[in-house]
Amino acid sequence: MSKTPMLPGNALRSDEIPDGYLSLDEKVLTYIPRNGAPQQISLVDCVGASAESCTLVVSFMPVAGGGGWGCSKLRREFVVNRFLCHNPTQASGWAEALWRVMHGMAPEGAAPPRKRWLILINPVSGPGNAVRIFGQVRPVLAANRVALTELVTAHAGHATEIAAGINLADVDGIVCVGGDGLLYELVNGLMARPDAGAAVAQLRLGVLPGGSANSLCTSLVKAAGEPIGPMSSAYLLCRGAPQPLDLLSVAQPERPVSYGFLSLEWAMASDLDLGSEHLRWMGDARFDIYALWRILTLRQYPGSLRLREKGSQEWRTIEGPFIGLWALNTRWLTSTAQLGPRAEFDDGCLDLMIVRNAGRISLLLTFLDLESGQHADASCVEYIKVEEFELCPLPRTEADPGMVAIDGELVAFATTRVSVLPSKLTLLGGRVRGDGDSDGPSRKRHCAGPTSASEASVALEPAPHL
């Protein structure tokens, strides 16, 4: 006769199952086989718990890879483990207890409400991989008990049209699978509604990377300390805390107010973004290639800039000519370009980065390493936090006056006033809270397997490859 093992004293629930024992506390699910060492699943990694007849199904996303020669880069992997129970009642009881504890609730009682998300997919965004990418992450969202409604956009501006017709009683989240332009369309559609205030207050907005730069998505993943990739973004959508995001109000003469969440670009900045559109097939490498070309063929742009710095009521003016101007609401342009190293999602400010007096060599040396963010301290860069500013661009030449872009989208070449609306939006996919509230996921080496019985992970059943 087998001896009942000693179960943790802080267990919220413990049970015998046909091939061993299960124990659940606030941080881990422990499986104790009748023969073998205890194995654990961290609840921080869990994204789903369900019952299939007599089987408890646990879906989780550990960090894998890394660790040295021959190992792949760090990544989140979607894996599933199944535990045979004595009967359907035991299986469903465990699934509901685990689901509640994952969400910081007591193991007994009402479950969190089912999430209802609208998924917008832009099939031609960036390299054109959005449909395939969502196919990879769909099982993650399904395991997380999300009711999904999927729509593929058919033309430019389609997301704006969809936003106008959303019934707020039917949806509590919208996830954009594509580039930043898809969310730009959605946000402007929501802000054009008669009930715009209620719409943006109720709806949580999320992003999955399907474009070239994926700037907002990259900034969220980097802020959470997660590996870059669609699976990390899906994990954060399921387990991350809500993240407030400042909204940019953009006013131009004789035009309706529009909105952005990412950036304003002008001069070399907009040249790099919009001028490299023909290189979309290259992914985010297009920006590096085109930046080198634009530095070698350096241009200057006439104009002026009025700004009000953070905490000040006084306006001051900066006169051109300018080489480049960025106004940044997030830190990362791409996974290797931390363009706004001091930007925060919800600090009520934009980070202005201004380049006026610089030669080709100094620009190359300054922007050679954008990943560290040290370019912000260079002598040729003015880096200023502002609450409001007004750009007055003048044509560089009659044939090629220049371009002004909001969130990477071309807007009129005109005087442009930008004001910050603090924390106007709420994003899905902020930093995960839990497991001691540590900074990001564990970076333990996984490719060589556990190093001891105490570090062993539960035997994993890989999810179907899509």
Class of domain 251-423: mainly beta
Domain with CATH 2.60.200.40 in the chain: 251-423
Q: For residues 208 and 78, what is the distance between their CA atoms, to the nearest angstrom?
A: 16
Is residue 96 predicted with pLDDT exceeding 80?
yes
DSSP, residue by residue, 284-330? THHHHHHHHHHHHT---B-EEEEEEETT---EEEEE--BSEEEEESS
The hierarchical CATH code for the domain 115-242 is 3.40.50.10330
Which residue type occupies 318?
A: I
Q: How far is CA 319 from the centre of its chain?
A: 36
Which residues of the chain form CATH 3.40.50.10330?
A: 115-242
Residue 445: strand, helix, or coil:
coil
Predicted pLDDT at 453: 29
pLDDT tens-place string over residues 17-53: 999 999 999 999 999 999 889 999 999 999 999 999 9
List pLDDT tens digits, range 334-371: 898 999 999 999 999 999 999 998 888 888 778 777 88
In the CATH scheme, what architecture does the domain 13-111+437-462 have? Answer: Roll (2.30)
Cα gap 132→115, rounded to integer Å: 23
What mean pLDDT comes out for the span 457-464? 33
pLDDT over 70 at 249, yes or no: yes
Of 231, 226, 216, 141, which Cα lies nearest the Cα of 186? 216
This prediction has a pTM of 0.87
pLDDT the model gives residue 269: 83
